[in-house]
Amino acid sequence: MFLGALVDSGVSPELLKRTVEALGVEAHLEISRVDRSGISATKVDVIVAGEKELPREEFWEKQAKHGHNHAQDHQHHHHSHEHKHPHEHGHEQKHEHSHEHGHPHRGLKEIREIIGKAAISESAKARAVRIFEALGAAEAKVHNTAVENIHFHEVGAVDAIVDIVCAAVGAETLGVDQWVCSPLNVGGGTVECAHGTFPIPAPATLELLKNAPVYSGEIQKELVTPTGAAIVSVVASRFAPFPRMKIDKAGYGAGARDFKGHPNVLRLTVGESQSAAKVPGEEIAILEANVDDMSPQIFGYVMERAFAAGALDVFGTAVQMKKNRPGMLLTVLCRPEDAAPLRQLIFAETTTLGVRERREQRASLARRHQSVQTRWGEVRMKLANLNGGVSNYAPEYEDCRLIAEQHHVPLKAVMQEAIRVYLEKENG
């Protein structure tokens, strides 16, 4: 499905086909257009030894029909039998046969070697190996063994190598800076795999999706496989709702099944993030003065006077001055037009003999107030906006202080209550 969405979003089908050829495995791709509950999507099938890749349930059902039971697969998880067959010239040659037709067991070492020899970029190789390593680590934890001891079932087969390497190549080719993934519908019910019947999501899938937002809808089928979970765990930069962006194109990759009333597609949307937009900026003046022979009471008074005279911000920093005397660095931020009267204020009200002045650029978020009704009274919430969304919020201190004094409740309780009411209102 991911490969189909990549192709539908502009990745060259020929590139993916050449990638499969570069792997040197007995496989090729078939790419077609299909309909999934009214959505036209691209379907990519991996053809191994003349057979299409099957969903896991169908794969193991087919194995069962051929007489390969779960106990056999479990027993021979880490090795295969050698059988001797007569060669056409009368010699004997050994062939390794897996219990999975067309799906030989492979470990990470063999998979790394296959990927390492492929004529693809080093970065795509590295990403593909990371995906398999993530998958191996999940399987190792589930089976309580070392990752190098894991010999993958269907995951290590040719079709999965093709899936993962093509995913790495296609993701790189698309040329995006960041991948954001929505919450994942993992499906429901049970799934057949090498060790028997397991609840969905499968153990390895669950391990790979730790810290990812997931949910289960009405479709009682496996909607995220271990392979898919491994790909998204490595490719995705973060999980989040649909980001603020200027959409360039969208692609749809089709799954094997066609569920009634549920488009079985993976949607890939490409665009320019609006979070990269510039934050409004302005030029400000910064006034600084060192004082070491002035009463702290006067310092507080000067700060109040400076704010009244138009300062944007005033603060003091403890410093160690000459002759090892402790002092304070007075810093005043203001608009350039207010610099002269504030400089005069500093000279008049403090003991300093000099004021330093410089101009800098300040980026500042747009701010606004929104009132919330707490159990004790109304509190204004100060909100900072970034790209149309609220990036920071905090209750106004003076409002909370006044309520705390009037109702004889802790100040922190008032502030916490204001935040709670605001969040409940915002989240509906």
| pTM of the predicted protein model | 0.56
Helix intervals (H) in 262-410: 296-308, 339-349, 397-407
Is a pLDDT exceeding 90 seen at residue 22?
yes
Nearest to 37 by CA among 258, 293, 330: 258
Q: Which residue has the tokens 């680590």?
A: 137
CATH topology of 281-363 equal to that of 366-426?
no
Amino acid identity, position 174:
L
> Quick one: average pLDDT of 307-311?
91
The predicted-structure confidence for 238-250, as pLDDT tens digits, reads as follows 888 888 888 999 9
Is a pLDDT exceeding 50 seen at residue 74?
no
Domain positions in the chain: 2-274, 281-363, 366-426
Q: Which residue has the tokens 């495995």?
A: 25
The predicted-structure confidence for 36-71, as pLDDT tens digits, reads as follows 999 999 999 999 877 776 655 555 455 555 554 433
> Quick one: average pLDDT of 294-308?
91
Q: Contact 251/170 with Cβ under 8 angstroms?
A: no
**pLDDT for the residue 282:** 82
Query: Which fold is adopted by the domain 281-363?
Result: Alpha-Beta Plaits (3.30.70)
Is a pLDDT exceeding 80 seen at residue 269?
yes
**pLDDT for the residue 194:** 67
Is a pLDDT exceeding 60 seen at residue 428?
yes
> Quick one: average pLDDT of 171-189?
91
Task: Name the band, by pLDDT with cuts 50, 70 and 90, for residue 182.
Answer: very high
Is a pLDDT exceeding 90 seen at residue 147?
no
Q: Contact 151/107 with Cβ under 8 angstroms?
A: yes
Query: Which fold is adopted by the domain 366-426?
Result: Ubiquitin-like (UB roll) (3.10.20)
**pLDDT for the residue 153:** 54
**pLDDT for the residue 322:** 86
**pLDDT for the residue 56:** 57
**pLDDT for the residue 409:** 96
Is a pLDDT exceeding 90 seen at residue 171?
yes
The predicted-structure confidence for 100-117, as pLDDT tens digits, reads as follows 444 456 778 889 999 999
> Quick one: average pLDDT of 354-359?
95
Is a pLDDT exceeding 90 seen at residue 229?
yes
* Total length of the chain: 428
**pLDDT for the residue 82:** 33
8-state DSSP, 253: E
Is a pLDDT exceeding 70 seen at residue 35?
yes
